[in-house]
Structure 1
């Protein structure tokens, strides 16, 4: 089964970002992908964190969700829709939300980013909690593709640093990590953490990312990749928009777990 991680360099124009996402989804489908994943904030990278609040949608309504639903249905894809802002109960806040769409165009899963990123090295400063409300619920879904059932656990970007979240998904066939890692942290930690999550959970990891210099001046690390359960990087796109694909092999998954049954050896 072929899966695709889509990389973008999103800007401040919502319509332009949605058009790019649709084009990349079309490319993934044309290359045989059955599941495609978009990066965090694929729909908007504003000049400031609060910009996303003006585009926050309610569940089931809005142009971002409409595009994802239509693309999934018309292309026959399972679509992990990166993240989009969903209105929170708290005024002046949004949830950073992943929605998953089936090939019928229906929402089958929702995950709200649990761990909110904060970083300050004296030159770069980020604090997502200024405008985002944290989620609290781990979420997994089953994607049925022909005779293959793909159990997939959801996460977003900074969640990658918290292995206990991913342990709640065991056993899982695939972990999804849409991200917009900063260049500074991504250069040192992105591949290291993705491969660790794949190895310790003995599953595939798909990590679609923002990758390049954005209109707002921010630079993201990119390196969208797909990693197998032995920690091998199967596909990677260093920078710039594009599609990277790999085969998810159920036999490979079973082989790794049989030869090293670590999941069955857990004590905590």
Structure 2
């Protein structure tokens, strides 16, 4: 399989998982009807909820989660690879996991990934986020094997940590992903350049489904779901905040072509960090 149609689903998830499942199913069916064999949903497909108490009241374990079950069932029914960008699941000990899943055309889970990097930031205008108060960070980088084609799994804030995507690429990923719920403020400043950079520096496709618009819990997300080729060109983008489907036909052979032109994955060299001291530079010793 070198050519395939891929899709990124843009959503504006609310606080009720049942309502979000209805939207997810409608858009995934639309993508499959238009020929997509790989479909990705955004971060927190199941619910976007700032209130910690309400969030945990709605959570289930992975085995009992209605969003996870719906995604598995859809993948099997439609005969597609379905990448549930992420949903919150009960991780035990009063913490949640921001977990992504990939299901094969038989509905079997072939990979899951817990978001590693927590969005603990203070932005302009008093906007502040502390994901680590509710979510337990993951510690394992994951490539999902889609019939021999490896898909590197990232989530949202992970995109600001290039070494994760470099390691996924060195381990064989030809498609990288960062399904997201980027804030409007950070998205306007950095979304496109970060997504394009990860594609360019790894010679890989980058597919990132996004949340968009004003959510029930009051937050605003940037949207602009993207499909980017290994040369850093945007081949498909959601131009509005509306829920919808972004679709593109991609040729995986473009990955090998890009990496042959600029073989930076092969050309990387080990180095040591020097320590600057007064009047001289010396090697830093760990």
Mark yes or no: TM-score above 0.5. yes
Q: Decide whether aligned partners of structure 1 residues 50 and 131 sit closer, same or farther in structure 2, where only a CA change above 3 A counts.
A: farther
Aligned-pair CA distance for 1:47: 4.4
Q: How does 1:164-243 map to 2 (within 5 A)?
A: 164-169=163-168, 170=170, 171-238=172-239, 239-243=241-245
How well do the aligned residues superpose, as a CA RMSD in angstroms?
Answer: 1.2
Q: Is the 8 A contact 1:117 1:158 kept in 2?
A: yes
Q: Which residue of 2 aligns with 1:29?
A: 32
TM, length-normalised to structure 2: 0.89
Aligned-pair CA distance for 1:155: 0.6
Q: How does 1:1-268 map to 2 (within 5 A)?
A: 1-89=4-92, 91-121=93-123, 122-144=125-147, 149-169=148-168, 170=170, 171-238=172-239, 239-268=241-270
Aligned-pair CA distance for 1:77: 1.1
Aligned-pair CA distance for 1:113: 0.4
- Rounded Cα–Cα distance in structure 1 between residues aligned with 2:195 and 2:94: 33
- Rounded Cα–Cα distance in structure 2 between residues aligned with 1:154 and 1:248: 18
Aligned-pair CA distance for 1:250: 2.0
Q: Which residue of 1 aligns with 2:275?
A: none
Structure with higher Rg: it is 2
- Rounded Cα–Cα distance in structure 2 between residues aligned with 1:249 and 1:61: 37
Unaligned runs of 5+ in 1: none
- Rounded Cα–Cα distance in structure 1 between residues aligned with 2:218 and 2:78: 33
Unaligned runs of 5+ in 2: 271-286
Q: Is the 8 A contact 2:46 2:88 kept in 1?
A: no
Aligned residues: 263
Q: Which residue of 1 aligns with 2:282?
A: none
Aligned-pair CA distance for 1:168: 1.2
Aligned-pair CA distance for 1:254: 2.1
SS in structure 2 opposite 1:100? strand
What do residues 89-140 of structure 1 show as CA deviations (whole Å, max 9, x unaligned)? 4x22111000111111011101000000012234211100111111100011
- Rounded Cα–Cα distance in structure 1 between residues aligned with 2:204 and 2:113: 19
SS in structure 1 opposite 2:126? coil
Q: Is the 8 A contact 1:95 1:113 kept in 2?
A: yes
- Rounded Cα–Cα distance in structure 2 between residues aligned with 1:50 and 1:247: 42
Aligned-pair CA distance for 1:32: 0.4
What do residues 141-174 of structure 1 show as CA deviations (whole Å, max 9, x unaligned)? 1112xxxx32111010000000111111123210
- Rounded Cα–Cα distance in structure 1 between residues aligned with 2:194 and 2:53: 29
Deviation beyond 6 Å, 4+ runs, structure 1: none
What do residues 196-235 of structure 1 show as CA deviations (whole Å, max 9, x unaligned)? 0000011000000001111122110000000000000000
Residues 212-221 or 30-39, more deviating? 212-221
Residues 41-50 or 165-174, more deviating? 41-50
